[in-house]
Amino acid sequence: MRKCLSSKSIRTGEFAEVDIDRFRRRGFPEVIYCPGKTKEQIRKIAAVLLKEKQPLLLTRLDKKVFSYLKKFYSGLRYNPRGRVAYYNPQTRSSSSRGKICLVCAGTSDLPVAEEAAATLEAMGERMVKFYDVGVAGVHRVLGKVNLLRQCSVVIVIAGMEGALASIVSGLVSCPVVAVPTSVGYGANFSGLAPLLTILNSCSPGIAVVNIDNGFGAAYFASLINRG
Amino acid sequence: MRKCLSSKSIRTGEFAEVDIDRFRRRGFPEVIYCPGKTKEQIRKIAAVLLKEKQPLLLTRLDKKVFSYLKKFYSGLRYNPRGRVAYYNPQTRSSSSRGKICLVCAGTSDLPVAEEAAATLEAMGERMVKFYDVGVAGVHRVLGKVNLLRQCSVVIVIAGMEGALASIVSGLVSCPVVAVPTSVGYGANFSGLAPLLTILNSCSPGIAVVNIDNGFGAAYFASLINRG
Amino acid sequence: MRKCLSSKSIRTGEFAEVDIDRFRRRGFPEVIYCPGKTKEQIRKIAAVLLKEKQPLLLTRLDKKVFSYLKKFYSGLRYNPRGRVAYYNPQTRSSSSRGKICLVCAGTSDLPVAEEAAATLEAMGERMVKFYDVGVAGVHRVLGKVNLLRQCSVVIVIAGMEGALASIVSGLVSCPVVAVPTSVGYGANFSGLAPLLTILNSCSPGIAVVNIDNGFGAAYFASLINRG
Amino acid sequence: MRKCLSSKSIRTGEFAEVDIDRFRRRGFPEVIYCPGKTKEQIRKIAAVLLKEKQPLLLTRLDKKVFSYLKKFYSGLRYNPRGRVAYYNPQTRSSSSRGKICLVCAGTSDLPVAEEAAATLEAMGERMVKFYDVGVAGVHRVLGKVNLLRQCSVVIVIAGMEGALASIVSGLVSCPVVAVPTSVGYGANFSGLAPLLTILNSCSPGIAVVNIDNGFGAAYFASLINRG
Amino acid sequence: MRKCLSSKSIRTGEFAEVDIDRFRRRGFPEVIYCPGKTKEQIRKIAAVLLKEKQPLLLTRLDKKVFSYLKKFYSGLRYNPRGRVAYYNPQTRSSSSRGKICLVCAGTSDLPVAEEAAATLEAMGERMVKFYDVGVAGVHRVLGKVNLLRQCSVVIVIAGMEGALASIVSGLVSCPVVAVPTSVGYGANFSGLAPLLTILNSCSPGIAVVNIDNGFGAAYFASLINRG
Amino acid sequence: MRKCLSSKSIRTGEFAEVDIDRFRRRGFPEVIYCPGKTKEQIRKIAAVLLKEKQPLLLTRLDKKVFSYLKKFYSGLRYNPRGRVAYYNPQTRSSSSRGKICLVCAGTSDLPVAEEAAATLEAMGERMVKFYDVGVAGVHRVLGKVNLLRQCSVVIVIAGMEGALASIVSGLVSCPVVAVPTSVGYGANFSGLAPLLTILNSCSPGIAVVNIDNGFGAAYFASLINRG
Amino acid sequence: MRKCLSSKSIRTGEFAEVDIDRFRRRGFPEVIYCPGKTKEQIRKIAAVLLKEKQPLLLTRLDKKVFSYLKKFYSGLRYNPRGRVAYYNPQTRSSSSRGKICLVCAGTSDLPVAEEAAATLEAMGERMVKFYDVGVAGVHRVLGKVNLLRQCSVVIVIAGMEGALASIVSGLVSCPVVAVPTSVGYGANFSGLAPLLTILNSCSPGIAVVNIDNGFGAAYFASLINRG
Amino acid sequence: MRKCLSSKSIRTGEFAEVDIDRFRRRGFPEVIYCPGKTKEQIRKIAAVLLKEKQPLLLTRLDKKVFSYLKKFYSGLRYNPRGRVAYYNPQTRSSSSRGKICLVCAGTSDLPVAEEAAATLEAMGERMVKFYDVGVAGVHRVLGKVNLLRQCSVVIVIAGMEGALASIVSGLVSCPVVAVPTSVGYGANFSGLAPLLTILNSCSPGIAVVNIDNGFGAAYFASLINRG
């Protein structure tokens, strides 16, 4: 319990208490989830982390707010499709670890896939991408089976009915992390359909994160990969 | 509208008005859905149809009630796994029509698959069965692709996440009728998960019937096959 | 499994892997679902299919994006109510097949009905349309019963409570494909109400596609009709 | 507000405070909903009402508990299908009021229909019954249209998809009170499907009561009929 | 069935089949539900009804579309809060029938209440209004109990938790028609909360219409009142 | 944080780690929720608490298991309607604190009300009970308004539509703690209906606990009363 | 019942019946919930309360409408983050009562927290604020345990998964009032996730108010604090 | 794709097609999910796997069926709390891999925890168990933080509100696999509440499996640990 006790946090204004101990405790610092925060609040939280020389990762960041932040932190990089900004000078992709594979069912799922990709990059992971290989033409993913089997974790991103995760899981021996997306219409119910699909998969070896949560899947996959 | 007007029905007791015109109008007579009906009510409705020399099909029929009916109608046949009874002296499988394929994801889905099988038999259809070929080992269904392509309709029965329907649909050019089943646990929510999966399939060419409704899928497939 | 193996796909950019084998395998090529795709992505996917001399079908296409595509592919036709574009030089309506009937409950359901109509046209089907014949005045659909009975498939499009599908199914001997629409208010819950109505129909011979999925119903009906 | 003030109630034990003023205020006394009450509690509440010379109506009453009560109140009558007991010496059917019509979609809906029938009888209403006239064979209810139009209220009882209420409402000029039932399976979701159907009816002139609430529909219809 | 057969409808364009027989059959003509219809479609449907000398009632009509219609039909009246337009030269309030009472829980529910009020006016009913008498201060509605008891039907309009319907029903002997509204926030779930409240009322004598359906409640109440 | 650190717990077997510090920290010890625990497990957890000389409270305890425990701890008292057992030698009702009022809508809600009553007793609170005063006859609860106003907290227990909480809250100036119950049928959905009712109350001053959670309401009310 | 009878209300226009007796009856006057009301309606309701010399509290008030009201009532104060306006000349924070603690999980939950803060201020309560102390770094809230234990009520505001309420409740002996917020994405379902979390808390001593209902939590906490 | 092609399966009866290639492909053979299968079916599927010299794992196995199987396969071991049987002669716990930690919120969650424990044992993993350390007394889990940090994966099993997963995840740097359980009552909705809690966790590094799916969590954790 001693470690718990020595945990530190820094208050900035009334609105935030930044958990600067998280980097030491968890291997990656607090990540800034941007919706509902003003650009000033985001900037001030970022300032605390940077002052502590910790990497920076901001998710669901509007392009406009990025431009505002860019003026203060010129090193900040931005993935516009994934709406993720990050700054991590020390990290370089570790070639000793395995690669993480990003498998994406359809072109419309790209924003979620790219949120994952940018997160993996910020966390220093190497990755392989197979986009638009949904089950309507199952030969597309079957044709990648040898490449899939060389990865240490597979992230499957799928909207509509989300069946791709079950297929992939049945072909590989590594863990599959699945992200249901809200892509679809009608009885998709904002991603509920693929979420239920994945939770109920008849193929064991899959775990799921929240709908559209590309960041969460990448973070979790990186924890696995750091082993 | 003349045909509508000439439709007939026969009242039996206070409890039923048997639509004896349905055989002429739709090509198959009224089917008796047994839950919530007493055995006497079932027997009396059956008596009306038999007197009109129409085939008999009873679904969700308990074995005990079947034994009771059997005493009155010795020709009645019973499929205990599908809980379906039927009597159809004139029907013989028509070799001029295509075969209907029953594809079933897991052994636990058998009661629904057999409800469909018994219905197809009562309606004079020829069938092929591929049971326990779910997507956790997708090579099982891929290995049947040539046989699947020789059928005129495919019925896919799947519980858990129901991904099998999308896979099959992507491989064939005939219509796929899908039946979600309530097999599963946790967030399966009594079949809601595979129902949503199938409705949201990224592979066009699938239509769905009610959860566990093996009868409905077979009836619909037979209508297609009669073309 | 040989056919499965020989399936081909063509990658275009990072974002898409076009399943060009689908035309051979399923009788109709990959259809482009447009939401969530940029206009450049749509154009490039279309280019792959056209280069392979395959028909083109684009659904949920905004008028503006159509105008953009029109500059590149002058032969492209557009149904603005159904928001569908298509290009299919070889197809002509096959008079040897039966007609497909589009029955629509209310004027407000027209966009879904027209998505179906444009899809049928792109797939070379002949059709009959009965719009605004909902059950509040059931004589309207009863008056069409003879015409309905001459079709080989009936597509019923209905929002609000979706009762029309049950009525139509009880009158004909061909398969009924039903599309629940999100037209309605209050406890319609974006189409959930008519979806449940249709799934639970007491009249067998109906199968359902996703809410507002006029395209899916037409595609499925065409598969039936090609028989 | 004076009338509100003079309202009376009688406490019996710790468990009940019988609203004996309701007969005067609303035209019918407190009705005893039996589930969750012990037989002794039911008997004591009944005793208070009988002492005040008020009619008695007990709903959802198990046959065993009825037998227990019968020993104390020999005049009590019981409808076993509707599980309703009642005692109302003064009431006789009023021939000056219109008849109330009970229209029931299927034989399996009978318990709900009979709960309504017994309630109407206890409230002194005359009734007509049309059972098993669901929309799968719509000519059955169309054939009753002249009889339906002679009634002052129609109660429609329907499970499965509940489409019958819309059809009936479109044919008559009197109010239609609809009762969704939990009869059905799969995506019926214990009566949610027909409840949503009826709430969303495209045919105005329908109001709905709770699922399986035959009593509530009959009570409401009687209030209308007392005019 | 003869009356059913003689029912008539008039087609206008591809988009509508106007049920002009409804006035004779149901006592009030087809009502035009405007969302999802173009202003031209609305005008043409109205033209058919007016040519048949039938009253006109349009619901959910935007002010702009009303202005457009007003140019063609100068007699059209508009209730902007209820977004209802109507034209009914022959109707005058019938003093031989009872009054209908509109009881509304909060000021925010007014648009729904006024949709009901305008409908009642178009149907020739006399009414009394008690707005903003919700249960947070129950003395407000208790103070109106004598006036409530003089009406022949009470319409209760309530959002948030919808408890007002139960209170009112417990005080009167006439039927209560309840309209849940989508007014509220959080777990109101667009009117689901008051809808469930009313369906489960412990006070019999209430029936419910769809969420926000002021028109439907008024139409139903008028059918009761015409007796 | 020192107090947090000094918290203690005692392990008993593999199955439990009893939080014996909770009595000091929260003013009342760990309460044993019995479902899913074997009678031996319950006995051993109780033994740890008793050894520490802490009061005992067991909820949802079957009568049979109580009889088993009674043999070991003869001082244990049992409320069979509320299925609660407790043992608290030191506690005596504190006359310096206010009374807590238990208001219960219907006789069928008694098991939940008695769970609350037994908990209050175990926690040394004085109480007043008003059972069966639901809103169908609102004069019953209005007649108690002076007594209600003398209490320091009111607990309202209501199933069906749960409207009683709003009424009571509008009459008093103390906090109202509401317990929705699963009593009801049809669209009650196991207590979801009254839960939503109470959450959406238009009358401020109400907070809610879980469905059927009489214990939780009493515990919370006692915390308020200890002030 | 005398007090109930003497309750007064004042009608302003057709749209409102202001419950001016509420101040006397409940200790705080009617609060104006602004959505769905026009600015004129809001002004007129405020005028009635001010004329009666009662405090004013307006929730969910747009800044524009505040500016409009400010012209008439210059003393009105506004909390723009909480969107609350109030005017209460007599109230001053009572130092004899305990402090109320506002604990907020994340920066994005601030609008709800500030609605609570402004309400507490309007009701004369003293408060302590701990914002951004969610469970991802649990040491932040553990570090405040001594301060938390000095308060008389704790209000916990939490979106996403809402786990903070359980943690806080386990550390203190005073009542915890929890507000789930709609902050989150994916399967947060507009606050449903944290609402269910809090209702099911394994830690007794928590009660919950509606999603995003900062006002309701503060009002309830103040009732507790007035004791 | 060659490996995909060479996959093998063995048919046993009509009911099963055993995927004997899965052991080679995925590192662990097909697992037998027992509900819905007859004891003969289970025995025959097991026979195929044993003949191939593959380990055996059977989940959700009733004790009676285990006794039946035991007669045929005397080496079979059974965990009665987790209802899991397994037989794996070759496996021994690998001391080169890290330990997997099982953290369980309450005693009532034990059956799910033991399903996980038995699965881990069958897969040759070493484990540590911390049962009954839920957040109502958060010091219990805080006291284990050093031990938690020595594990390579943590499985958190939690019913009720499921908050434990977030707490644990915030303390460790390894992946957390969470299992929501159906333990709870009221608005737990059969495990939906903790499922949503975990999906929405504000603490990254968690992935979730289906409700009550102890097997799935253990299988997934083992895949991670084999790394």
Please report whether residue H94 resides in a domain. no
Q: What tens digit of pLDDT does each residue of D39-53 get?
A: 999 999 999 999 999
B55 has a chain C CB within 8 A of its CB: no
Range F159-174 average pLDDT: 96
How many Cα atoms within 13 Å fall on the side-chain side of residue E150?
Answer: 8
Mean pLDDT over the full length of chain D:
94
H65 and H162: one domain? Answer: no
- The pLDDT score that the predictor gives to residue G1 is 42
B169 and B136: one domain? Answer: yes
Looking at F32, F58, F87, the residue that finishes a domain is F87
Q: What tens digit of pLDDT does each residue of B105-123 get?
A: 999 999 999 999 999 999 9
Q: How far apart are the first and last CA of chain H?
A: 23
C111 and C213: one domain? Answer: yes
B134 burial level (CB within 10 Å; 0-12, 13-18, 19+):
buried
Looking at C87, C111, C141, the residue that finishes a domain is C87
Strand partners, C215: none
E33 has a chain G CB within 8 A of its CB: no
- The pLDDT score that the predictor gives to residue A2 is 44
Please report whether residue E146 resides in a domain. yes
A63 and A104: one domain? Answer: no
Residue E4 has pLDDT above 70, yes or no: no
Residues of A in contact with G133 (CB under 8 A): 17
Residue D128 has pLDDT above 90, yes or no: yes
D47 and D117: one domain? Answer: no
Task: Measure A2 CA to nearest chain F CA, in Å.
Answer: 9
D83 and D105: one domain? Answer: no
Proportion of chain G above pLDDT 70, given as a percent = 95
Max Cα–Cα distance, chain F, nearest Å: 55
Task: Measure C7 CA to nearest chain D CA, in Å.
Answer: 37
Task: Measure G22 CA to nearest chain F CA, in Å.
Answer: 8
Please report whether residue B55 resides in a domain. yes
Residue F227 confidence class, pLDDT cut points 50, 70, 90: confident
Q: What tens digit of pLDDT does each residue of G12-69 get?
A: 999 999 999 999 999 999 999 999 999 999 999 999 999 999 999 999 999 999 999 9
E111 and E220: one domain? Answer: yes
CATH classification at residue C169:
3.40.50.1970
Q: What tens digit of pLDDT does each residue of B150-192 get?
A: 999 999 999 999 999 999 999 999 999 999 999 998 999 999 9
Residues of G in contact with E140 (CB under 8 A): 9, 17, 19
Mean pLDDT over the full length of chain A:
94
- The pLDDT score that the predictor gives to residue H83 is 98
Q: Choose among F106, F140, F186: nearest Cβ to D191.
A: F186
Q: What tens digit of pLDDT does each residue of C54-102 get?
A: 999 999 999 999 999 999 999 999 999 999 999 987 666 667 889 999 9
Looking at D34, D61, D87, the residue that finishes a domain is D87
DSSP collapsed to 3 states, chain D = CHHHHCCCCEEECCCEEECCCHHHHHCCCCCEECCCCCHHHHHHHHHHHHHCCCCEEEECCCHHHHHHHHHHCCCCEEECCCCEEEECCCCCCCCCCCCEEEEECCHHHHHHHHHHHHHHHHCCCCEEEEECCCHHHCHHHHCCHHHHCCCCEEEEEECCCCCHHHHHHCCCCCCEEEEECCCCCHHHHHHHHHHHHHHCCCCCCEEECCCCCHHHHHHHHHHHHHC
**Which of E61-75, G48-62, H78-92 is predicted with the least confidence, judged by mean pLDDT?**
H78-92
Low-confidence ranges of chain C (pLDDT < 50): 1-5
Inspect the interface and report whether the beta carbons of H173 and A27 lie closer than 8 Å.
yes
A16 has a chain G CB within 8 A of its CB: yes
Please report whether residue H140 resides in a domain. yes
- The pLDDT score that the predictor gives to residue F3 is 45
Query: d(Cα E108, Cα E185) in Å, to the nearest integer?
Result: 12
Range D129-147 average pLDDT: 96
Residue B224 confidence class, pLDDT cut points 50, 70, 90: very high
Residue F6 confidence class, pLDDT cut points 50, 70, 90: low
- Angle between helix axes F63-72 and F39-51 (nearest 10 degrees) is 40
Proportion of chain G above pLDDT 90, given as a percent = 91
Inspect the interface and report whether the beta carbons of B16 and D132 lie closer than 8 Å.
yes
Please report whether residue F195 resides in a domain. yes
Residues of F in contact with A1 (CB under 8 A): 5
Residues of H in contact with A147 (CB under 8 A): none
Q: Tokens 């009002």 — which residue?
A: G219
- The pLDDT score that the predictor gives to residue C148 is 97
Residue E88 confidence class, pLDDT cut points 50, 70, 90: confident
Q: Choose among D131, D136, D187: nearest Cβ to B211.
A: D187
The number of folded domains in chain F is 2
Task: Measure A107 CA to nearest chain B CA, in Å.
Answer: 12
Residue G3 has pLDDT above 60, yes or no: no
Determine the structural domain holding residue D203 and report its residue range. Answer: 100-225
Tokens of E127: 């009414």
Strands in B84-87's sheet, in edge-to-edge order, are B32-33, B56-59, B84-87, B77-79
Q: What tens digit of pLDDT does each residue of F179-220 get?
A: 999 999 999 999 999 999 999 999 999 999 999 999 999 999
- The pLDDT score that the predictor gives to residue G93 is 65
G62 and G113: one domain? Answer: no
Inspect the interface and report whether the beta carbons of G205 and F227 lie closer than 8 Å.
no
A190 has a chain C CB within 8 A of its CB: no
What does pTM read for this prediction? Answer: 0.96
Residue H220 has pLDDT above 80, yes or no: yes
Residue G5 has pLDDT above 60, yes or no: no
D127 and D202: one domain? Answer: yes
C138 has a chain B CB within 8 A of its CB: no
Task: Measure D118 CA to nearest chain C CA, in Å.
Answer: 27
CB atoms within 10 A of CB F122: 26
Q: What tens digit of pLDDT does each residue of E114-144 get?
A: 999 999 999 999 999 999 999 999 999 999 9
Range E9-32 average pLDDT: 95
G116 and G213: one domain? Answer: yes
Query: d(Cα G136, Cα B27) in Å, to the nearest integer?
Result: 64
Helix (H) or strand (E) holding H129: strand H127-131
- The pLDDT score that the predictor gives to residue H93 is 65
H80 and H111: one domain? Answer: no
Chain B, chain H: beta-carbon pairs less than 8 Å apart: 67
E71 and E149: one domain? Answer: no
Helix (H) or strand (E) holding F56: strand F56-59
Please report whether residue D92 resides in a domain. no
Mean pLDDT over the full length of chain H:
94
Q: What tens digit of pLDDT does each residue of H156-188 get?
A: 999 999 999 999 999 999 999 999 999 999 999
Please report whether residue H1 resides in a domain. no
DSSP assigned state of H99: P
Residue B2 has pLDDT above 90, yes or no: no
Any contact of H with G, at least 3 CB pairs below 8 A?
Answer: yes
Please report whether residue G83 resides in a domain. yes
**Which of E164-173, G86-95, G194-203, H150-159 is predicted with the least confidence, judged by mean pLDDT?**
G86-95
Q: What tens digit of pLDDT does each residue of G78-93 get?
A: 999 999 999 987 666 6
Residue H92 confidence class, pLDDT cut points 50, 70, 90: low
**What is the pairing mode between strands F127-131 and F100-104?**
parallel
- Amino acid at residue number E94: S
Residue A104 has pLDDT above 50, yes or no: yes
Nearest alpha-carbon partner for C35 in A184, B148, E188: A184
